[in-house]
Amino acid sequence: MTSKKTLAQAIRGTVYVVGDNIDTDQIIPAQYLNLVPTIPGEYEKLGAHALSGLPAGCAPFVRAGSARSAHSILVGGRNFGCGSSREHAPVALGAAGVQAVVAQSYARIFFRNCVATGELYPCETDERLCDVFKTGDEAEIDLSANAIIRLSDGRRFALKPMGDAAPVIQAGGLFKFARKAGMIKS
């Protein structure tokens, strides 16, 4: 997997809001799993199809004809990333321009795949922010302060610390982190 961006301590952008139990089939439908993320053109196609499995009636996450979303922050409810254990799910979101997902809880495999690929930060919160934020809100995630701020009113919401996962994601994934730390040869 290749990350096309350097992740930082502060992430600022527009929010896209989803609810509970967003599964990996909704994040990247199975018909796109033949795309190989290490091939740049196919990585871009994964981004174009990110969240294309959401039910009819949801606002499009990626506009037709585009490979990237206008939204760099996803806000969800409980059990984000449930379903099959496809690493294409965080990769597709990262390819679409998402830098972080803020949710009440994650499916364990989705959280691990976020860390392993280094595509995006899976931020957890005890608050149900999918009922507080609206799609299109501007927000900033301050990873060093463990907070997300809604910019329209300055309201801050606590995030759980990322712990040892943050430096792995910051490095661009598990293999890049291991090489940087001298755990495996370059």
What is the Cα–Cα distance from 78 to 97, expressed in whole angstroms?
A: 22
Per-residue model confidence as pLDDT tens digits over 16-30: 999 999 999 999 999
Mind listing the pLDDT tens digit of every residue in the chain (186 residues)? 433 334 457 999 999 999 999 999 999 999 999 999 999 999 999 999 999 999 999 999 999 999 999 999 999 999 999 998 788 999 999 999 999 999 999 999 999 999 999 999 999 999 999 999 999 999 999 999 999 999 999 999 999 999 999 999 999 998 888 888 888 887
- Residue 115 forms part of a structural domain: yes
- Residue 4 forms part of a structural domain: no
Alpha carbon 141 to chain centroid, angstroms: 13
- Residue 44 forms part of a structural domain: yes
For 5, other C-beta atoms within 10 Å of its C-beta total 15
Cβ atoms of residues 170 and 58 within 8 Å: no
What is the Cα–Cα distance from 36 to 12, expressed in whole angstroms?
A: 29
Place of tokens 């809604």: 150
pLDDT at position 2: 39
- Residue 186 forms part of a structural domain: no
Range of the structural domain that residue 16 is part of: 10-180
The number of distinct structural domains making up the chain is 1
Find the helix or strand (DSSP H, E) in which 174 lies.
helix 174-180
Question: CATH number, domain at 31?
Answer: 3.20.19.10
pLDDT at position 7: 45
Cβ atoms of residues 138 and 15 within 8 Å: yes
Find the helix or strand (DSSP H, E) in which 89 lies.
helix 88-95
